[in-house]
Structure 1
Amino acid sequence: MTESPGRGHDHDGLQILTFPHSAEVSMHAPLPRLSQRSGGTTRSPVRDLLALTENPDVISFAGGLPAPELFDLDGLRRSFDAALAEPGGLQYSTSEGNPVLREFIADRYTAQGLPTTRDEILITTGSQQALSLLALSLLDPGDVVLVERPSYLAALQAFTMAGARIVSVPMAADGIDLDALNVLAEQHRPKLMYTVPTFQNPTGGSLGRSTRDGLTGLAARHGFRVIEDEPYRELRYSGDPLPYLAALTNEHVITVGSFSKVLAPGLRLGWIRTRADLHSAVVVTKQSADLHTSTVDQAAAAHYLTAGGLETALDRIRAAYGERRDAMLAALPQTLPAGSTWSTPHGGMFVWATLPTGHDSTRRLTSAIEQSVAYVPGAPFYAERPDASTMRLSFTTYEPATIREGMSRLERSFAQP
């Protein structure tokens, strides 16, 4: 039986009610539900699969992980020592970021054919934060964002969290299907188009020059912005460089970059190349998110880069990753079931494979893990109508001999019923 409340007096003699413990518990109201935004966003299977890398027996082609043995530990240690030589390296900083670092990024853009000033650069906590800041700054709930089919999973998460409606654009041999894009832009009046134009995640493909021209032309015609996400651009092993989309139509394109793939992902350093019409809005959104990116990490990166460390790092990384890409591509014909197809990327970190009709890469993953090898099923990279036969393989983490062993294990997994 539930006890009735008793009566007592506080220290001023006022009468108060006292409730027994059982009654107190029974009167608790249920807690509010989580937000609709958080409930509508699924966990990243890529992040979950990274736990496999903690098991040294598993060869994981799942995560887009740079090779740790290629990090310049000595050079970065010296740069962190320099950053910590003054107490300012541990102080609050401006939201826009370290001016020396921003100047370096701007000068590199300019040297690559995209004239840029320091004031156009905003440093972010990795390029993932850059996407989140842009989504929150540019999108209202219900706004349409066009994405490639398939597309980068964490970008889909960022746009979903902002309440956007995501519409996929089919891909053609040279990248985006421009005819389909034109029709979809007419139908949906998008605010944004998101693309990874160079060595795309997950497919490894790149937009050809004519497709870049066509995409920027359609952005101008229909009045939508384009976010070009370029974390892999510096990782080219063959072929000729292609222009930035912003170099073709600066007014409509916002460019995002990152040092995660060329220095170290643990630094969490990315940036946005903004424009005057949106710079202030993005800075305010950044201030509300975290005030500013790590001061000491920015200062260390600025010291390392201005001392010439990037070119040496890139030479080392490109040589190693090119060999690893070649090792994976050479093993694929005997690894995957007959009738499979795959991309042949000129750079980046990924090969995208499509299994024959009737194969489901998600169901096959269990057999692969039993053989101590892992990959990422392709379905989560689709905003709609996933292709269950697709899969993503990363080739950067291991040396060629380990890649060949991992591919042998994967071949054995496909031999299982």
Structure 2
Amino acid sequence: MTSRLVEQLGAQSVAGATAASLAEQIRALILDGRLTVGERLPSERALALELRRSRSTTTRVYSLLEGDGYVSRLHGGSTRVALPHSPPTATNTDDDAAIDLSIASMDSTPGLYDATVRSLPRLAALRGTSGYSLRGLPELREAVARRFTERGVETDADEIIITSGALNAFHLVLATIGRRGERALVEQPTFPHALEALHRHGYRLLPTPVDVTGWDERHLSDTLLRSRPHVAYLIPDFHNPTGASLSDAERSRIATTARNSGTHVVVDETTAELDIDRGWSPLPMAAFSPQVITVGSMSKIAWGGLRIGWIRAERSLIARLLATRPSFELGTALLEQCIAVELLQDMPALTAHVTARLRAGREAVATGLASIGGLSMPPTSGGLSAWLDLGAPISTSLSLASRDHQLILPPGPRFTTGGVLERRLRIPITLPPERMADAMGRLQLAWNDVMAGGASAPREVPSSAVI
């Protein structure tokens, strides 16, 4: 059985790698959070067998990591993930100086303050209630349902539950319908915290490829019919991180195939309203099958600090969700719900702000990349980020080099199930232009470091090995 360490490394990343390179890749997994502090690693002998390398190589790998404080070892016992007692030079940055590109999110909409002030009488009117809101405020559920209807799928407030964000909604869905040990189809790449949620609920993951040009629909459909996964998690609009969108025809075919395979489709619409200039507006995937479960949130169109999300589902599932929810929370904060009601009353203002900010961020990224030889901006008509092709499997090396320039940049494998996509890098387009220009300058310095290092970069692999 493959250990989690080797699964995260990926076979193509370790083929021919030196002990120093392997240690550096494991260090990157630790810094990136893909290996957790205290986690037990394979023994030297077991790791050598898995990697088909000599025992002396794996001994050297663990010795290098131990010397830097990234593992702790007991003689004759286990090797476990650790962190240095003092921050290493590469990450010794203060919050103000560092630029964090691991979070693809904008600051708040200009209307947030006014909406908060307008929401206070609504909140005051609720003082005579218990304050618990298991299903969500009726007026907020009606506003969310109305937005679904405007986008092309008739929706009633009884088909909506208000949650504390989309990820909270996803956990509630999995807690209600989840089956440990079952399979889950996921896009490769995808939102990392969704992968973590599926792992936490005991699912075995089946990846299906997505790129800036779209989905491999045949692969996706064949996987649904052949493996009949219990759950499929999809981001059909401005996919995170590639920015691709499914057409109406693709949505219809995938929804039909999933229904035939008995798969619960959970659609993440967190990015659905992040349009810059796509030029067309697809129907929500729920329009093609009543069984589709949709999760969404206010985090990208209003503010990440406004922890408001929702679930749209059939009434029978809504009843099951409401029965499950009290086991881990008793509802969503009322003040945030009141503010969300006010914000959703003026969707044109929200979407106009989003479009303007994303367009400016996209231009700043394109300008910055133009000055870095070998990198260019792929087509990006909306969404959170640009999904770059680095031309070689150096994403982890570039991520580590970026830390030396106070730039936090997750490598491509962070968005995958098994350490693949080392040629890829996600660059958010959500920062203000001046901040983004600074980030691009730091990226260029890191890029120059990696290019100058030459032999320190991971070995080139055939492009067919990278999905």
Letter in 2 for 1:315: A
The match for 2:352 is 315
Alignment counterpart, residue 66 of structure 1, candidates 85, 91, 106: 106
1 CA distance for matches of 2:126 and 2:140?
A: 18
Compute the RMSD of aligned alpha carbons.
2.7
The match for 1:261 is 300
2 CA distance for matches of 1:225 and 1:269?
A: 23
The match for 2:286 is 246
Cα displacement string for residues 157-179 of structure 1 (whole angstroms, at most 9, x for unaligned residues): 11111111111012366532122
1 CA distance for matches of 2:209 and 2:340?
A: 38
The match for 1:387 is 421
1:351 aligns with 2:386: yes
2 CA distance for matches of 1:129 and 1:396?
A: 23
**Pairing of 1:214-293 with structure 2 (within 5 A):** 214-239=253-278, 240-250=280-290, 252-293=291-332
CA drift at 1:131:
0.6
Helix, strand or coil at the partner of 2:218: helix
1:193 aligns with 2:229: no
Change (3 A) 1:289 1:312: same
Change (3 A) 1:194 1:342: farther
1:99 aligns with 2:138: yes
Alignment counterpart, residue 187 of structure 2, candidates 109, 133, 148: 148
Tell me if structure 2 keeps the 8 A contact 1:75–1:304.
no
Cα displacement string for residues 285-339 of structure 1 (whole angstroms, at most 9, x for unaligned residues): 2221211111222123224433x3x32232123112212112212332332x52x
Unmatched segments (≥5 aa) in structure 2: 1-6, 9-28, 37-90, 454-467
1 CA distance for matches of 2:322 and 2:31?
A: 27
1 CA distance for matches of 2:387 and 2:211?
A: 15
Helix, strand or coil at the partner of 1:282: helix
Moved more, 370-379 or 187-196: 370-379
CA drift at 1:391:
1.5
Helix, strand or coil at the partner of 2:145: helix
Change (3 A) 1:256 1:119: same
CA drift at 1:99:
0.2
1:79 aligns with 2:118: yes
The match for 1:404 is 437
Change (3 A) 1:263 1:358: closer
1:57 aligns with 2:97: yes
2 CA distance for matches of 1:52 and 1:91?
A: 47
Q: How many residues align?
A: 368
1 CA distance for matches of 2:142 and 2:31?
A: 34
2 CA distance for matches of 1:185 and 1:321?
A: 34
Change (3 A) 1:52 1:276: farther
TM-score (norm 1): 0.81
Unmatched segments (≥5 aa) in structure 1: 1-39
1 CA distance for matches of 2:169 and 2:30?
A: 19
CA drift at 1:401:
3.0
CA drift at 1:209:
3.2
Alignment counterpart, residue 375 of structure 1, candidates 409, 413, 417: 409
2 CA distance for matches of 1:210 and 1:341?
A: 30
The match for 2:209 is 170
The match for 1:24 is none
Cα displacement string for residues 104-146 of structure 1 (whole angstroms, at most 9, x for unaligned residues): 1111111111100000000011001111011111121111110
CA drift at 1:53:
9.8
Tell me if structure 1 keeps the 8 A contact 2:378–2:387.
yes
The match for 1:365 is 399
Change (3 A) 1:43 1:385: closer
Letter in 2 for 1:409: R
Letter in 2 for 1:377: P
Cα displacement string for residues 315-366 of structure 1 (whole angstroms, at most 9, x for unaligned residues): 123112212112212332332x52x56532211111111212242x222223
Percent of pairs with identical residues? 28
Structure 1: which 4+ aligned runs deviate by more than 6 Å?
A: 40-44, 51-54
1 CA distance for matches of 2:129 and 2:440?
A: 45
Helix, strand or coil at the partner of 1:353: strand
Letter in 2 for 1:244: P
Alignment counterpart, residue 162 of structure 2, candidates 123, 130, 133: 123
Cα displacement string for residues 260-309 of structure 1 (whole angstroms, at most 9, x for unaligned residues): 11122212100000112311111122221211111222123224433x3x
Tell me if structure 2 keeps the 8 A contact 1:354–1:389.
yes
Tell me if structure 1 keeps the 8 A contact 2:189–2:241.
yes
